[in-house]
Amino acid sequence: MEKLKIRGGRRLVGEVRASGAKNAALPILAASLLTAHDLVLHEVPDLADVRTMLKLLEGMGVRVERSGSDVRLNAGAVTSTVAPYELVKTMRASILTLCPLAARFGHARVSLPGGCAIGARPVDQHIKGLEALGAEVEIDHGYLNVKCARLKGTRIVTDMVTVTGTENLMMAAVLAEGRTVIENAAREPEVTDLANCLIAMGAKISGAGTSTITIDGVEALGPAEHSVVPDRIEAGSFLCAAAAAKGDVLVTHCVPADLEAVIAKLREMGCSVETGADWIRLRMDSRPKAIRIRTQPHPGFPTDMQAQFMAVLALADGASQVTETIFENRFMHVPELNRLGAHILTDGNNANIEGVESLSGADVMATDLRASASLVIAALAASGESTVDRLYHLDRGYERMEEKLRALGADIERIRL
């Protein structure tokens, strides 16, 4: 068992580089199934979720060569179109293999991901869209079974904005016959990054990054090389760490335009934030101001930053309100933040945060990926020692987080029990 031991109260000063984005790397790795040719990727972060996706693809017969953050994939000799429960249960993003498999091979058997800590997270929009493209989808024994001839382009309007839903359907449509239009599409930068990779493979896609994506299907895709976009959520997490613990931190290898809503809220809290072409510098020396946050699909404030902001707002001068509109159960960090001395009350999807002057170290437990980052941030700002348990959540989505924080002056170490 591994835990993080953090002695808080140190200012964070220095430079930290964001890794490639988990949420872009995962769909792009799945996109390798769409071609018999090599897909060469750069900036693939070394994360538990990436390792799970590579294991899933290898299990299907995809050849994977990995060297640091470079990965070469070849799905020229796929032997299985099954995504087994044992892997899917550890990573919901496994559902992203569903549409590439159906589009290229005409069949797939993918375990239903099921609910998770932050909410029920159904995949009905993925299924509905794939059916509209002409596939037959059946559920048996917890698996989605898909059969289809060549998919046929159509107009799809999703009931809500869904990120992996948009990505999955875009991957189905690239090999379909004719034109597909996805309305109410997610506009997240990771959707655009996947589209850019697919375009490099020979797909015909326009409108990615807007709510209408148009795809003209092609018969086959070719080889490509692509660099995964920087992780805006990791970058934002380091900015929150500096806002909570105080200091002067420069985050490099990031896209400030992808973090507009986050930067606006950091400024509203009183942080000094400067940006350049691919960097963000945050300076903070005072107590944060209390603010209101409402999570929204991109370009609104991201749900994946909600927990980390709550750690900062726990220390604000005054009362803040956070409303979570995307996931029904994404406040599990609240009782743990309260163990560190925060005063947070939740009521449905609202959290009221009565700012306190200081937090104090405690033993806390991570419940999901961003909740773990939130606890690390709070512990960095707290006086005394904290431990953060259940690190496998953190390791799903942060590459060498403790090393990167140590380089900024944090007193943090991973302990093995």
Ligand X SMILES: CC(=O)N[C@H]1[C@@H](OP(=O)(O)OP(=O)(O)OC[C@H]2O[C@@H](n3ccc(=O)[nH]c3=O)[C@H](O)[C@@H]2O)O[C@H](CO)[C@@H](O)[C@@H]1O
Ligand Y SMILES: C=C(OP(=O)(O)O)C(=O)O
Active site residues: 116
93 scored as a contact of ligand Y (CB under 6 A): yes
Tokens of 6: 């953090």
Stretch in the footprint of ligand X (CB under 6 A) among 137-145, 158-166, 312-320, 356-364: 158-166
Closer Cβ to ligand Y, 93 or 110, answer by number: 93
Binding mask 19-58 for ligand Y (x = CB under 6 A): ----x-----------------------------------
The answer to the question of whether 122 is labelled as a binding residue is: yes
Q: How far is the CB of 86 from ligand X (least distance, A)?
A: 19
Backbone angles phi, psi at 261, to 5 degrees: -65, -35
Closer Cβ to ligand Y, 145 or 329, answer by number: 329
Q: Contacts with ligand X in 360-379 (CB under 6 A)?
A: none
Alpha carbon distance 292, 382 (integer Å): 23
Please, are residues 333 and 307 in contact by the beta-carbon 8 Å criterion?
yes
The answer to the question of whether 23 is labelled as a binding residue is: yes
119 scored as a contact of ligand X (CB under 6 A): yes
| DSSP line for 342-411 | -EEEEETTEEEEE--S--B--EEE--SHHHHHHHHHHHHHSBSEEEEE-THHHHHH-SSHHHHHHHTT-E
Q: Contacts with ligand X in 4-23 (CB under 6 A)?
A: 23
Q: Of 249, 238, 162, whose CA–CA distance to 399 is shortest? A: 238
Backbone angles phi, psi at 92, to 5 degrees: -60, -35
Q: How far is the CB of 304 from ligand Y (least distance, A)?
A: 4
Q: Of 381, 365, 247, 361, whose CA–CA distance to 309 is shortest? A: 381
Alpha carbon distance 228, 365 (integer Å): 31
**Residue of the chain from 50, 93, 101, 243 that contacts ligand X (CB under 6 A):** 93
390 scored as a contact of ligand Y (CB under 6 A): no
397 scored as a contact of ligand Y (CB under 6 A): yes
| DSSP category for residue 60 | T
Q: How far is the CB of 7 from ligand Y (least distance, A)?
A: 27
Closer Cβ to ligand Y, 98 or 250, answer by number: 98
Number of residues that bind ligand X (CB under 6 A): 22
Q: Of 67, 44, 121, 15, whose CA–CA distance to 409 is shortest? A: 15
The answer to the question of whether 124 is labelled as a binding residue is: yes
Closer Cβ to ligand X, 188 or 336, answer by number: 188
Closer Cβ to ligand X, 74 or 111, answer by number: 111
| DSSP category for residue 202 | T
Q: What burial class does residue 168 get, using C-beta atoms within 10 Å of its C-beta: 0-12 exposed, 13-18 middle, 19+ buried?
A: buried
Known binding-site residue numbers: 22-23, 92, 121-125, 304, 326
User: Which residues would be at the binding site for ligand X (CB under 6 A)?
Assistant: 23, 26, 92-93, 119-126, 160, 162-165, 190, 303-304, 326-327
